[in-house]
Amino acid sequence: MKQTVTARDMMVSNLVTLSPEMDVLDAIDVLLKRHISGAPVVDSEGRFLGIFSEKSCMQFAVGALYDQLPSNNLMAFVDTNPPAVDEETDLLSIAQKFLDAACRRLPVLDFAGRLSGQISRRDVMKVVQHHLRGKDGVKAGAGLYISAVVVSGERPV
């Protein structure tokens, strides 16, 4: 029987992160220079505080246009309660979370709430493609049903 694919197996752990003390404009510079759509915000001990994303940048821009002097405090624009998964979350649950939530990335947290890594929708696509192809790139016969059973260990809800 195949092994279950978990967040730990799929996550990217070499991430660009932001500090909660950063100025918003400095955080925007990081996103633009790194060509990324968002980054996790972590404290000095690696605890996950939230996500600063392109949407956060739009909130800052709207505030700048309406208020003339918006806050430059990064945490005022960070999504502090984004969807997240733990290291043991299975592939099927991760894919379902992406369907249920309007997000591009899922932070992967350890048991203490520290950031371990991140999974993107593209990471899920790569794993699914790999598992649905047989040897030599030939499409596997059983498809998603077998993959779902193997991945979750139980019947999908």
Give the CATH number of the domain where residue 76 resides: 3.10.580.10
* 131, part of any domain: yes
* 72, part of any domain: yes
Query: Which of 57-61, 63-67, 136-140 shows the lowest per-residue confidence on average (mean pLDDT)?
Result: 136-140
> Which residue pairs from 63-70 have beta carbons closer than 8 angstroms and sit at least 24 positions apart in sequence?
70/24
User: Domain range holding 44?
Assistant: 7-152
* 74, part of any domain: yes
Scanning the structure block, which residue is given the tokens 């000095």? Answer: 44
Query: What DSSP designation does 102 have?
Result: -
* 39, part of any domain: yes
Cα separation values, 35 from 14, 40, 49, 124, Å:
15, 15, 22, 20
* 157, part of any domain: no
- Residue 86: helix, strand or coil by DSSP? strand
Provide, rounded to the nearest whole percent, the portion of the chain with pLDDT above 90: 67
Query: Which of 1-15, 62-76, 80-94 shows the lowest per-residue confidence on average (mean pLDDT)?
Result: 62-76
pLDDT for position 11 = 96
Q: How many domains, the chain?
A: 1
**Cα–Cα dist 126/124, whole Å:** 5
* 65, part of any domain: yes
Q: Distance between the two ends of the chain, CA-based, in angstroms?
A: 21
pLDDT for position 30 = 97
Strands 85-86 and 48-53 turn out to be unpaired
Higher pLDDT, 118 or 154: 118
* 94, part of any domain: yes
Q: What is the mean pLDDT of the chain?
A: 84
- State the average pLDDT over residues 89-110: 94
In this model, does residue 135 exceed pLDDT 90? no
Scanning the structure block, which residue is given the tokens 């969807």? Answer: 83
Number of other residues whose CB lies within 10 A of the CB of residue 72:
15
pLDDT in tens, 111-134: 999 999 999 999 999 998 888 876
pLDDT for position 66 = 79
For the record, the structure tokens of 22 come out as 């950063």
Chain mean position to CA 58: 19
Helix (H) or strand (E) holding 107: strand 105-109
- State the average pLDDT over residues 17-24: 96
